[in-house]
Amino acid sequence: MAEIEKIREIERKEIPKEKTIEKARKEVEKAGETEERIVECPECGSRQLVHDYERAELVCNECGLVVDEDFIDMGPEWRAFDHDQRMKRSRVGAPMTFTIHDKGLSTMIDWRNRDSYGKSISSKNRAQLYRLRKWQRRIRVSNATERNLAFALSELDRMASALGLPRNIRETSAVVYRKAVTKNLIRGRSIEGVAAAALYAACRQNGVPRTLDEIAEVSRVSRKEIGRTYRFISRELGLKLMPTSPIDYVPRFCSGLNLKGEVQSRAVEILRQAAEKELTSGRGPTGVAAAAIYISSILCGERRTQREVANVAGVTEVTIRNRYKELAEELDIEIIL
């Protein structure tokens, strides 16, 4: 009986402790929800809130009110002053990516014959390591879908590198291609054609347009097939893409012609005026952008010839001549040649 009483007494002592833990957990969850809910300043209603990580404060950018303080820093607890130090102290692998068929989550045996300490592996174990490396490569690609993805994503990466496209476009194009594979849109079409069409769609989605001719130059398929496949996958996947604006091409063309920012701004201004008067509709965006750059280069005193602009924009001199005459006439721009 005495033992039973002792057990009951211990249980009575443990119950409040559990309640306290539960209460603390709820308070933490509530605090987290409150932090997530803070999206605007209670003083001025502005949504421009800035995290000051040195003082652990959430500050309104408009009125300077400290909205929240003492929040938890989710970053690493260590500091690094160069790349080697950062790689040495980091305890995690590379982030997940859609540009690799297994999303970068599988392991890989390095081609260098060294162990984890950087020491050279003995010749006795090198044959075994070679066999392990070979089988590791084989088992990473287990079925036909993965083989398809592995080939297509490497092709996407090759084309994106040739065009000098940023990382986010490679990720977007990989996602578009994966959706096409999931919906079985690859059947009856070449992998290269669908990959090129996915890259073209990703460029347009991210506001970094490339022409079909530019994509066709770096791919192994024709311009006609890329255009046909792009229309098909955009219809089947429901990609709602707006027509390409000539303004999107201006920075790249100006950079290719080594023109200053003043010329670029003037060209964008001309194109906006042309869009208001509906002079850009029904015409190729590259030709209109090239004509606007040609006009602005003359107006700003950094003249470029029609041939130079045509070579960078990938259009003919006749197109530039026709478009610049239309723009100059409709916008009342006096050009002294």
Residue 88: predicted pLDDT? 82
Query: Annotated binding residue at 300?
Result: no
Q: What are 246-258's pLDDT values in tens digits?
A: 998 999 999 989 9
For residues 275 and 203, what is the distance between their CA atoms, to the nearest angstrom? 22
Write down the pLDDT at residue 83.
83
Q: What is the model's pLDDT at position 158? A: 94
**Mean pLDDT, rounded, for 6-26:** 50
Instruction: Give me the residues paired with residue 114 across strands.
Output: 120
What is each CA distance from 245 to 284, 318, 325, in whole angstroms? Answer: 9, 21, 20
Instruction: Report how far residue 289's alpha carbon sits from residue 262's, in angstroms, rounded to the nearest whole number.
Output: 15
More confident position, 227 or 34: 227
What pTM did the predictor assign?
0.68
Which has more pLDDT, 274 or 89?
274
Q: What does the pLDDT average to over 71-86?
A: 80
Which domains, and CATH codes, for the chain?
144-237 (1.10.472.10), 246-331 (1.10.472.10)
41 is in an annotated binding site: yes
Residue-wise pLDDT tens digits, 122-147: 888 888 888 888 888 888 887 888 88
- The answer to whether 291 and 273 have CB atoms below 8 angstroms apart is no
Give the per-residue pLDDT at 170. Answer: 94
Q: What share of the chain is helix, strand, coil (3-state, %, to 5)?
A: 60, 5, 35
The backbone region for 222, taken as left when phi is positive above 0, alpha when psi lies in -120 to 50, beta otherwise, is: beta
Q: CA-to-CA distance for 46 and 36, rounded, in angstroms?
A: 16
Region 202-220 average pLDDT: 90
- Least confident window among 81-85, 161-165, 202-206, 231-235: 81-85
Q: Is 254 one of the annotated binding-site residues?
A: no
What confidence tier does 111 reach under pLDDT thresholds 50, 70, 90?
A: confident
pLDDT one-digit tens code per residue, 234-287: 999 998 888 888 998 999 999 989 988 898 999 999 999 888 888 888 888 899
Q: Which residues contact 195 (CB under 8 A, 6 or more apart)?
A: 152, 155, 156, 159, 173, 177, 219
- Secondary structure class of 49 (helix, strand, coil): strand
How large is the average pLDDT for residues 161-173? Answer: 93
Tell me the pLDDT band of 23, cut-offs 50, 70 and 90: low
Mean pLDDT of 100-117: 79
Please indicate if the annotation marks 60 as binding a ligand: yes
pLDDT band at 89 (very low <50, low <70, confident <90, very high): confident
